[in-house]
């Protein structure tokens, strides 16, 4: 019974959570649409995989903000590929009952708390690795579930 109550409480915490602005220049968190490299919606097909997150438009070098009050948990290394070293960074965080990751971000720091709207880092140079892609932050839930309801 106790586990059920905890799960129910977590559901209600997450139920009303919405991501605030993630990136300077994109106040509405516009989603990446179709470009030569693919699409940005959850479940979009990739070369040999499926997109397990959402791609939110963000210009190379733009400031990245906390979408709500968050705790920075740890840094991320995404590819482990020297050819993609320029964009091989991100940050894992929790907040609002959610655990999620932001890819292609150089975080200012990787632990501690950040308030909604405060800078957490800068967007890395996607164009240097994927020319003519729509530069974006990849938002992925820790359990790889669909983040769309939170936008």
14 touches 98 (CB < 8 A): yes
Return phi, psi of residue 12, to 5°.
Answer: -70, -30
- Domains plus CATH for the chain? 18-150 (2.70.70.10)
At 47 the pLDDT is 75
Give pLDDT, residue 14. Answer: 61
Nearest to 133 by CA among 68, 44, 16, 39: 39
User: What pLDDT is recorded for position 7?
Assistant: 39
Which pLDDT belongs to residue 48? 77
pLDDT at residue number 5: 39
Alpha helices of the chain — where are they, by DSSP H? 2-15
pLDDT in tens, the chain (151 residues): 544 433 334 444 466 899 999 999 999 999 999 999 999 999 998 777 899 999 999 999 999 999 999 999 999 999 999 999 999 999 999 999 999 999 999 999 999 999 999 999 999 999 999 999 999 999 999 999 999 999 9
pTM for the model:
0.88
In sequence order, the 6+-apart residues with CB closer than 8 A to the CB of 103 are 53, 76, 78, 87, 90, 137, 138, 139, 140
pLDDT at 16: 83
> β-pairing, 105-107 with 136-141?
unpaired
What order of strands is seen across the sheet that includes strand 63-65? 63-65, 119-123, 105-107
């Amino acid at each position: 019974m106790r586990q059920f109550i905890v799960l129910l409480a977590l559901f209600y915490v997450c139920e009303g959570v919405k991501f605030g602005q993630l990136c300077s220049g994109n106040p509405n968190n516009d989603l990446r649409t179709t470009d030569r490299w693919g699409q940005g919606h959850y479940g979009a097909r990739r070369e040999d995989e499926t997109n397990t997150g959402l791609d939110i438009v963000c210009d190379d070098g733009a400031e990245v903000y906390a979408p709500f009050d968050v705790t920075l948990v740890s840094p991320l290394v995404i590819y482990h590929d020297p050819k993609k070293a320029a964009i091989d960074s991100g940050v894992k965080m929790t907040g609002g009952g959610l655990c999620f990751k932001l890819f292609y971000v150089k975080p200012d720091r990787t632990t501690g708390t950040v308030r909604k709207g405060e800078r957490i880092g800068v967007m890395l140079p996607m164009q240097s690795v994927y020319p003519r892609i729509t530069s974006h932050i990849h938002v992925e839930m820790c359990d790889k579930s669909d983040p769309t309801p939170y936008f």
